[in-house]
Chain A
């Protein structure tokens, strides 16, 4: 099987991903989300009220009238001497003032509470959605077909869980609420500006539009480079991964110096892109901020001109006084300066979030792309059930574990029949190709009676492993039929089919956990004694007892601390404890020395008794005593028969066996 893991990750559009996210929030956290929105409204309202209070109320309604009142009460005596300095006894602290301050305190308090409420519930929403996505991804992934994993590298898949889900965190927790509150603030600000003065509002809005376009410009440029940066980051990642994985080879060949030289190139490219991306991004903030100050000057200038020239301004709050139009006051201008800040600040904030959002949506589209990947189709309806014998020797379904199994086969007419699980496998005229047009198995026919041992031999690439991959339906056949106890395997539920086939793979995979847990993986409810027994059968007991903590030794990195042979022994123990009616051993003992293998085989013979066994091996002792040996070449069975029979034929098997030169091509 030569797989080229080069298929790109499926993606969904950014907008589609955004909608999906929003949909998830609404589905899982409608109440919290409602509260968050409410809280954001309160917060925005209170900060707008803040600006309004300072300009319109404090200055215009209290300080200025008080000063004017004082001046009126203390007129300067003589004309010509222009001024007089006085210490006043004015107080603006009347009841009305404290009433207003009181109202402000209440509004502010609401703002404080609102901002707590919104942050508090947002924590649940953003973390909850992330958790849901992670769990959903993982659960979905379990039912993706094996070909998906053939076509994508582990690193690529993992980066969805790490980089992409992580990128989402910032967006969910900060960007989305910030954008929402920014928009609310802008609207509130807009309304109050409309109430106060339309001319000055025009200025603020014009600046807002200018900033919007500037933001768009810079963001699109920096976005381009951020994408480049991600690509270079991926390359660096790939280089480091490949080299560090082969670090021991690097050491052995003194390749360090050349390795560093090559890495420097990749690393420098990443540096260059990172600089470019950040330069654009970093230009945005000071530009938007200072544009705010320019706007400040412009408003002051215009306001000044309006005041000096006694121009009449218009605002909807004028209607409250019954007259359309007002003269400009210092209070109006001060408030507007504050409004302009409140109106522009959200634009800056949103601009700041843009890169986060771009990256998050890129991640989200990969995430949902994976969720959109079609899962393995399982149209099977025949189930594997525990059974016991009735008086006629026929199977009857029971709930408890009897150690005996039967196929439960519901029929179209509503009846259900039970067949004993025996382990008879018939492969009939099967063709198969990983890619549609490239058939790698031709017309494969194999009959295995219950309890028989069938061996496959032949050169790499002959299709031995592929046949076993069809039995457990990792891949579906193109043509022909495979029957299991006379049931078409397409009718059997995949999980049940696979449970009934014990697989030991060429490439042993162990999981992080203790040795005990790894063996128990084959049968989750196995007692410690059962585990020890399985380990003894597989001849793994000896070396396990030599490990620092025996059966409780924790294996990490797929059991990297064990030798390849030791890992294979554990894999055999794991299959042994599962106690399946059919065993498939794919080069299961290739790294175990012959002496140990002989011992394993003794144990295996015990487990294999009464079971159908398919074995792929290149070692003679492993296959010699098989009932049938199939010799494969280029996807075809070219010879079949028993060891002695095949030797007598003096064909390919004979050549292989005697170790004579082989003509390959």
Chain B
């Protein structure tokens, strides 16, 4: 582990781990600006005008100062007014730029989140398994916020800084060509140094952000498992791990900050060097050529090549040029930080759903016949969890599936709703390969009540309507009757309007299971799959549910996965699986009792009525 980690650190630092080219990342993200392109364009126009005005102000200041020197009061007033007006106009454009930059960046963030969320909706189970929910949440919120902020900076600063710098440079060349060459030396050197620093820290930032995930994981597991931590008295163990991770972040961050510490001194050095050079050279140029005048007996000398006042403008330009450079480097560092977030976003957007509709899909499921034709399936291609499954069921049959932990019962039934694709062989519903159906059509016809089921925030009615968007109350109650949920729902003061809190923790496990069954029934499916869906219900309720199903849904093919023999012993067909996903035997209860020792053993170990009622 330690060695692997070191290797990973090294690879991240040397840049060997980098999935996407910057071009691809930027291309994918730029595509998301969409409707907000107008706002971006307007921002840039305003920024352009704002910076142009600012540069002109700096240029005009020397005229103002000349008037001051010449004691020309009217001139002073005129130029002061011009400058003040220009400043107000510049402020106006600046505010407008900020106005549109806000909507552009917020809109960009909105589009990113929207696209990501929509993309996640197209994911297959396999894609979902790849990302943890926590990671998808971080990516759609924190990462998008980072990118959004960087984008705003790009809109305002990245455009502004080069404008300002180029304008200022041009002005310098106009005013004092003899001086301006200083910048041609300083700018490239400074740019090189700043970029060098930024590129130095980038890779380590990637490393740090990856370690952040580890830190979060450490907190999440500790909080989630706090009872385990406390009962094993393992706080020292967790603190030790946490401190190690936080220490790693600390050391690497300090390392980076130390490198970044050179930014400011380098900037200051450049400013000071420019100042001194301009002072010396400027003084030379100013005093080179002078005009001596005598007005009303006062003799004075004024410089011709470069006015004393121009020095002030020049110094302003020095500041503008170098500040722009500083900004460019700051934004570069920020983009560096955002780049990692951007890549994590692109990863979501780029993930290709591995289950897609084929062209001209079949739009109707004719009947509930199910055929598994020599099916092989594995979550990774070189390890099958189901091997050579070849079973066939007719519409309306009830099929029980039983087998030990890890015998791939869930995997088997998942294939029918095409939650996963088979590796070899085929699964047919109604005589058609599931891969040929329109996915929505197929899943509307094959209702799965998942083992790990959830209810969502909202009322119970909202939750049940997942099965049928426009279900009437009668339909809902009918489904609840079959699922044995009506009785306890009537006991809730608010009935169907009872609110479910996040995770459904305010209804008991048994109630939740029954609601989930009702929800699936509302789909009016051709095939119904109950994956250990009554485990928290007492045997009596369990029996009533099965009875209701066979009475009211005779044409529906029903698959029941259960731990209890009692739940499946009356099924038309019982499939006995063993660890590794192989079928031990298939038949009805009587047949299996006769010839299948595994089944008999199970039956006998549970003989005597089975389980206790653990739920009300």
Contacts and interface: CB of A to CB of B under 8 A. Distances in A.
B219 A161 contact: yes
B263 interface: yes
Interface size class of A (residues with CB under 8 A): 35 or more
B114 A263 contact: yes
Nearest to A278: B102
A303 B79 CA distance: 13
B243 interface: yes
A263 B117 contact: yes
Interface string A107-125: 0100111011001101110
Contacts of B83: 293-294, 296-297, 300
Interface in B189-231: 212, 215-217, 219-231
B29 interface: no
Interface string B589-616: 0000000001001100110111111111
B33 to A, nearest CB: 14
A459 B613 contact: yes
Interface in B567-594: 579-580
A3 B540 CA distance: 28
Contacts of B229: 142
Contact of A618 (B272, B523, B612): B612
A211 to B, nearest CB: 12
A503 B288 CA distance: 92
Contacts of A113: 265
Interface string A54-92: 100011001110111011101110010011111110111
A4 B506 contact: yes
Nearest to B605: A594
Nearest to B255: A123
Interface stretch (A245-253, A410-418, A430-438, A605-613): A245-253
Contacts of B430: none
Nearest to B124: A251
A68 B301 contact: yes
B286 A63 contact: yes
Given A275-B106, A305-B73, A596-B405, A71 B292 contact: yes
B254 A618 contact: no
A591 interface: yes
A303 B309 CA distance: 14
A504 to B, nearest CB: 9
Contact of B142 (A62, A162, A546): A162
A665 B602 CA distance: 33
A19 B81 CA distance: 46
Nearest to B80: A301
B602 A594 contact: yes
A304 B137 contact: no
Contacts of A390: none
B442 to A, nearest CB: 9
Contact of B469 (A67, A258, A503, A557): A258
Q: Which of A3, A83, A240, A662 has the most CB of B within 10 A?
A: A240
Interface in B390-439: 402-406, 410, 417, 419
Contacts of B519: 253
A113 to B, nearest CB: 7
Interface in B454-506: 454, 456-457, 466-467, 469, 491, 501-503, 505-506
Interface string B43-86: 00000001000100100010011011101110011011101101
Contacts of B501: 4
B528 to A, nearest CB: 12
Interface string A543-567: 1001010000010111010011110
Contacts of A153: 502
Interface string B373-391: 0000000000100000000
Contacts of B503: 242
Given A161-B216, A252-B448, A301-B76, A267 B114 contact: yes
Interface in B228-242: 228-235, 237-239, 242
A85 B304 CA distance: 9
B539 interface: yes
Contact of B117 (A240, A590, A618, A660): A240
Contacts of A304: 64, 67-68, 71, 73, 76, 80
A149 to B, nearest CB: 5
B457 A242 contact: yes
A200 interface: no
B94 A618 contact: no
B238 A474 contact: no
Given A142-B238, A307-B68, A135 B265 contact: no
Contacts of A158: 216, 219-220, 223
B269 interface: yes
A154 B311 contact: no
A382 B270 CA distance: 68
A515 B231 CA distance: 20
A104 B277 CA distance: 12
A233 interface: yes
Contacts of B125: 248, 251
Interface stretch (A8-16, A281-289, A439-447, A529-537): A281-289
A278 B136 contact: no
A151 interface: no
Nearest to B231: A503
B605 to A, nearest CB: 5
Interface string A38-51: 00000100100010
Given A278-B106, A659-B540, A247 B615 contact: no
A323 interface: no
A303 B69 CA distance: 10
Contacts of B224: 154, 509, 558
A476 interface: no
B175 interface: no
A50 B269 CA distance: 12
A521 interface: yes
A664 interface: yes
Interface stretch (B15-23, B245-253, B545-553): B245-253
B405 A565 contact: yes
Interface string B532-545: 00011011100000
A120 to B, nearest CB: 5
Given A62-B283, A101-B279, A112 B73 contact: no
Given A115-B268, A333-B68, A594-B602, A131 B247 contact: yes
A501 interface: yes
A590 B454 contact: no
A392 B598 CA distance: 54
Contacts of B443: 251-254
Contact of A87 (B268, B289, B293): B289
Contacts of A46: 268
Contacts of B142: 162-163
B216 A256 contact: no
A621 B61 CA distance: 94
A592 B118 CA distance: 37
A253 B225 CA distance: 31
A92 B303 CA distance: 14
Given A138-B222, A161-B219, A595-B605, A72 B299 contact: yes
B292 A116 contact: no
Nearest to B256: A123
Contacts of A120: 258, 261
B612 A289 contact: no
- By Cβ-Cβ distance, the 10 closest A-B pairs, closest first, are A286-B94, A282-B98, A123-B257, A565-B405, A509-B225, A290-B91, A293-B87, A119-B261, A304-B76, A278-B102
24 contacts: A58-B311, A67-B303, A68-B301, A71-B300, A71-B301, A84-B291, A84-B292, A113-B265, A134-B242, A146-B230, A240-B140, A242-B502, A252-B450, A260-B117, A278-B98, A460-B614, A503-B227, A503-B232, A521-B237, A557-B132, A566-B405, A594-B564, A595-B598, A657-B609
Given A135-B242, A512-B217, 13 more contacts: A46-B268, A50-B275, A58-B283, A85-B289, A86-B289, A126-B257, A161-B216, A274-B105, A286-B91, A289-B91, A300-B83, A563-B405, A594-B564
